[in-house]
Amino acid sequence: MKPLASIFLFFMLAVPAVNYAQTSLKPGDKAPDFVSKDQDGKTVSLKQFKGKKVVLYFYPKDNSSGCTAEACSLRDNFTELTKQGYTVLGVSTDDEASHRGFKENNKLPFSLLADVDKSIHMKYGVWTEKERLGVKAFSTTRTTFLIDQKGYITKVIEKVDTKNHASQILATN
């Protein structure tokens, strides 16, 4: 990577972003259905989880520090999440191969969905414009949706505490 590109990337990751949009979905809304592939190339849709509670969490990038902390928080509390009836699904714009490595490296017990075309992000309103150092770009806004057995959103967590994210979810019950 060229030095100037490295500096730009550093500032894009290190300087807080200004969001221009947040999701318009709220508790009581029907969760938008989707079809995607998981880390193993298996087709996954929201409809297949009817009758189960779902934690649908959107995160920016496999193997980044915040995303790893968030995934590990969910991993470390996975037993409690499943005891409370949740199925956990992570979604990012990374591809299946990236997800497979991220899942294996961190021993994640849940599926990661590849949303390379950003269609799920768009349905959930989490592909948003952000500004860093005067540069505007679109990226994932870290957001979690709790979905009930009938497919309705019960909670939207927009201020995700990556290191304690499972606690945020468990505190809603």
Query: Catalytic one among 67, 88, 160, 169?
Result: 67
In this prediction the pTM is 0.85
| CATH class as words, domain 17-170 | alpha beta
Domains in the chain: boundaries: 17-170
Q: How confident is the model at residue 22 (pLDDT cuts 50, 70, 90)?
A: low
pLDDT of 84 strictly over 60:
yes
Looking at per-residue pLDDT, the higher value among 21 and 137 belongs to 137
- d(C-alpha 27, C-alpha 30), whole Å: 9
Question: Alpha-carbon distance 66 to 17, whole Å?
Answer: 14
Residue 48: band (very low, low, confident or very high) from pLDDT cuts 50, 70, 90: very high
Strand order across the beta sheet in which 18-19 lies? 18-19, 127-132, 135-140
C-alpha distances in angstroms, 6 versus 2, 9, 13, 134? 6, 5, 11, 17
72 catalytic per annotation: no
